[in-house]
Every structure is written in C-alpha cells, then in structure tokens.
C-alpha cells in the first residue's frame, strides 16, 4: 500500500469499516448502482486488446465487466485501498476464471504507476474520496498513453439525489445532521460541481473534459420491499453513519420515519428514488 500518511483517514475507513460492509452487501450494492455503472462503461467503450485501469474497483463488479470487454489480448488492473473488498474481487475473478485481470492494493493518489502503460482509466464512484483530487488525477494521468482516455462516474449534488436526501431528512427528525463538509472535501459529493471537475482535470493535464448528466430512478438496495430498503439504509451509507453512536430507541424511531418517507416510492418489490450522476470523460494529448 502507498504512503499511509496520505489519505490516511480514507484508508482506515475502507479497511476497518466501509470495506467489510460493502463485502457483506456486495450483491445488493451491485444491484443498486450496477445500472448506473453500465452507462459509464458504455461511454468508456473499452476495446478488445486495450489495457485498462479501474480506480476504486471495490468488490470488482466493473473490473470483471472491463476484463470481458478487452478480451484475452487486453488486460485490466483494479486498484483499491480496501483489502477486504479486493479479497472479494479476487474470489469473483476466480469464479469467472478471468486470466487478464489483476487487483492491486494501493492508493491511486500516490501509487507509482508505470508511465504511459494504459489506454483507459475507468472508475465507478471510486474517485470522490481523494484527499487531494488534483494531485490524484495528475498521478493517474501519468499512467495513460498519449491519446489515452479517462472515464468516471460520480454523483451530482445532494438535492438531486433523493435516494440520499429523503432518508436523511426523515432521520433528521430524530438526530442532528452533521455540518456540511467543506467544498471539495473527500466524500460522495466532492465532485458534484462540474466546473470544479473541469478545473481539477485541466490542472492535472487532461484535455477535452466533458460532464454528461445522467438522471434516473434507482432501486434502493436492489430489488427489495420497503422494510428491506430501510434495513439497507440503516446498515450502510449516510444514514448508517449518522446513527453510529445512537441507542436502540433512536434507531427504532429513525427506522419508522424512514419507512414512512419511503412508502410513496414503493412499487411492488422495489423502492425507487431519483439519482443524478455525471459521466465525466477526458483525454490526454496524443
């Protein structure tokens, strides 16, 4: 793993708390955000024979898809700071018997990549947690060959993502919400401002930066009923973080409020709320 002094808080979180939770809920999380990642994968358009770096690859869902796309003549490296998630990714790789895929436990912000070694850098929600985004993207750019491409998926602002906003507002009836993070602080919405994204990538040496909006309803926790959606939200994500130190009575009252808030969005076995993301693309000069 790279210099632990950089991004130390994120490294600790994704190894001690966040990573194990994602492994436990991997199938439900893939069901929730997989369709969004598919949109970005289509835009990235990995080609047979290409070399690809999947940043913040987590439990391997997109890395597996990329390995299928580039075929046996291509190669994919998934990089992540979370060893528990990489462990699950390797298990899935073995299940699918993919030989053109490797996983690297390292911090993309500081890892010394082989210069000009990949054609495409991809990420599904894996680049919003950098301590220094400009430094991180500058470091990633060194891995791209001349004419290489960058494509990543990130969240737009909170007010356009009801899947987070609605349960948080329900929870706020019982527990105080944390103060808003400083603009650009590591977190799910750190790249929500497209002007900031363009400035970061311009500084990092990328060109022709495009931010394509994608807005759609998203199934909370995958195909599940209201009770399952509530349990999912109490286990992982912003509401779960909010309740980390809460007692059982508070958790129960929050659960009831969230359940009431989700009922209007329930349809059969799914609970679907709005989501808004950016598919960001850029290149390096040929």
What pLDDT was estimated at residue 224? 79
What integer pLDDT is reported at residue 4 of this predicted model? Answer: 45
d(C-alpha 48, C-alpha 56), whole Å: 22
Whole-angstrom distance, CA of residue 128 vs CA of residue 191 = 6
pLDDT of the residue at 269: 84
Residues linked to residue 144 through DSSP beta bridges, in sequence order: 118
Q: Quick check: helix, strand or coil at residue 71?
A: coil
Residue whose tokens read 């000069």: 285
CATH superfamily to which 8-157+183-216+277-283 belongs: Vaccinia Virus protein VP39 (3.40.50.150)
Q: Count CB-CB contacts under 10 A for residue 269.
A: 12
The pLDDT score that the predictor gives to residue 2 is 38
The one-digit pLDDT tens for each residue of the chain (286 residues) are 334 455 788 889 899 988 999 999 999 999 999 999 999 999 999 999 999 999 999 999 999 999 999 999 999 999 999 999 999 999 999 999 999 999 999 999 999 999 999 999 999 999 999 989 999 999 999 999 999 999 999 999 999 999 999 999 999 999 999 888 887 889 999 999 999 999 999 999 999 999 999 999 999 998 779 999 999 999 999 999 999 999 999 999 999 999 999 999 998 889 999 999 999 999 999 8
| 3-35: b (≥16 Cβ within 10 Å) or e | eeebbeebbebbbeebbebbbebbebbbbbbbe
If you ran DSSP here, which 8-state letter would residue 279 be given? E
Q: What is the structure's pLDDT at 277?
A: 98
The reported pTM is 0.94
Tokens 């994608």 — which residue?
214
Whole-number pLDDT of residue 1: 33
- Alpha-carbon distance of 51 to 246, in angstroms, equals 46
């Amino acid at each position: 793993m790279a210099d632990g002094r950089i991004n130390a808080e994120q490294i600790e979180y994704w190894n001690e708390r966040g990573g194990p939770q994602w492994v436990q809920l991997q199938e439900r999380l893939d069901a929730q955000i997989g369709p969004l990642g598919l949109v970005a994968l289509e835009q990235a358009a990995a080609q047979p024979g290409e070399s690809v770096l999947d940043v913040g690859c987590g439990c391997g869902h997109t890395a597996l898809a990329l390995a299928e796309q580039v075929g046996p003549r291509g190669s994919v490296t998934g990089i992540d700071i979370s060893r528990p998630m990489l462990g699950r990714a390797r298990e899935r790789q073995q299940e699918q018997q993919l030989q053109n895929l490797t996983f690297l436990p390292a911090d993309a912000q500081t890892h010394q990549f082989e210069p000009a070694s990949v054609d495409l850098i991809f990420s599904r929600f894996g680049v919003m947690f950098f301590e220094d985004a400009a430094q991180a993207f500058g470091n990633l750019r060194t891995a791209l060959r001349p004419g290489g491409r960058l494509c990543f998926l990130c969240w737009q602002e909170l007010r356009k993502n009801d899947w987070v906003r609605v349960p948080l507002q329900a929870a706020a009836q019982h527990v105080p919400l944390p103060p808003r993070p400083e603009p650009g602080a590591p977190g799910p919405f750190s790249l929500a401002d497209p002007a900031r994204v363009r400035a970061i990538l311009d500084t990092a040496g990328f060109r022709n930066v495009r931010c394509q909006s994608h807005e759609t309803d998203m199934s909370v926790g995958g195909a599940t009923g209201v009770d399952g959606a509530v349990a999912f939200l109490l286990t992982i994500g912003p509401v779960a973080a909010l309740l980390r130190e809460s007692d059982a009575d508070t958790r129960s009252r929050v659960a009831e409020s969230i359940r009431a808030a989700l009922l209007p969005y329930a349809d059969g076995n799914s609970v679907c709320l709005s989501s808004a993301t950016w598919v960001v693309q850029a290149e390096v000069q040929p």
